Amino acid sequence: MSKQGVDRYLRVAVEGGGCSGFQYKFDFADTPNEDDLVLERDGAKILIDEMSVGFLEGSEIDYARELIGSAFKIHNPNAVAACGCGTSFSI
């Protein structure tokens, strides 16, 4: 977030698609929408839209740096199945 150079938000959303039915989407936003849940921790500001909140309830979002690359990881207790790469899930 600090590399963006301005005070921005990380938007986390759930969309239909992916090999397991739903997929996570990450993007940057300049301002929250009216229906967004706004979370802040350790200076990071996260936006989750109203539709995605139910799918992400109780989830933990982490940023992992590994030998094969860096990526956001979501541990979602609502997911009953996930694809091998962890970007899609089913409920």
* pTM of the shown model: 0.76
pLDDT of residue 19: 66
What distance in Å separates the CA atoms of residue 54 and residue 60, rounded to the nearest whole number?
A: 14
pLDDT of residue 18: 65
CATH of the domain at 61: 2.60.300.12
Domain of 38 in residue numbering reads as 2-90
Q: Do 47 and 10 form a contact (C-beta atoms < 8 A)?
A: yes
Beta bridge partners, 64, equal: 71
pLDDT of residue 31: 92
Dump pLDDT digits (tens) for 31-79. 999 999 999 988 888 999 999 998 889 988 888 887 777 777 888 887 7
Could you give the number of structural domains in the chain?
1
